Amino acid sequence: MDKCKLSCKIGPSILNADLAQLYEESERLLDCGADYLHLDVMDGHFVPNITFGHPVVKCLRAKIPKAFFETHMMVSNPEQWVEPMADANVDQYTFHYEASKDIPSLCRKIRDAGMKVGIGIKPNTPVDVVKEYIDLADMILVMTVEPGFGGQAFMADMMPKVKWLRENYPELDVEVDGGVSLDNIDICAEAGANMIVSGTAVVKSESPKEVMQDMRSAVMKKL
């Protein structure tokens, strides 16, 4: 692993926060040491839940102009929302491999719009499907739950996917998302994940700062 280029980044998911206090919750997490905000966008079609979309993200950006925003697009037509999310000044647009019929074209569209490219895979999707798209992406997201709802149990059997990515692409940002907590951060770190999304474990904690510090420490030991 390239110790010079990889860093640990902790991105709380605000899905489990009080969405009526979205700005305040986001600021609180950033003040506690979050490196970025992981914003779960769901359309009720690709996943059986609806959260929020471009108007909410744009309003949040207006109040938080400098934080790194990653939108996790759990939507059936990710191409449709590239320009709106770019308009909201999103930094990274992460879509699902399973949702796009033309991944190279989508990756180019995202990059041309000024955003970084993330590609996510669901638990039942083999990791090697992303092999031909690695050069087009900034990050690969390995889902450690079925996308769609917060608070699910972490799937440890996804760690071989993370390990495969780290071994084959040592400089690639590899993200894990779903049920990540202090109980399983060590195996995430051991497998090679360096971008950590955590919802419930951080947001519902009495001390989000300490939880994120402990997660960062676990990952840094392996970088």
Q: Which of these, 222, 184, 221, 216, lies nearest to 200 by C-alpha position? A: 184
177 is catalytic: yes
- The set of residues, in sequence order, having a beta carbon less than 8 Å from that of 157 and lying 6+ positions away, is none
Token code pair at residue 8: 């640990």
Q: Which of these, 128, 156, 129, lies nearest to 143 by C-alpha position? A: 156
Among the options 18, 87, 177, 186, which is catalytic?
177
* Strand partners of residue 195: 9, 175
Contact 142, 174 (CB under 8 A): yes
The residue length of the chain stands at 223
What is the rounded distance in angstroms from the CA atom of residue 89 to the CA atom of residue 115? 8
How many CA atoms are closer than 13 Å to the CA of 83, on its beta-carbon side?
Answer: 1
What is the rounded distance in angstroms from the CA atom of residue 165 to the CA atom of residue 169? 6
- The set of residues, in sequence order, having a beta carbon less than 8 Å from that of 217 and lying 6+ positions away, is none
91 is catalytic: no
Among the options 2, 31, 35, 40, which is catalytic?
40
Catalytically active residues are 40, 177
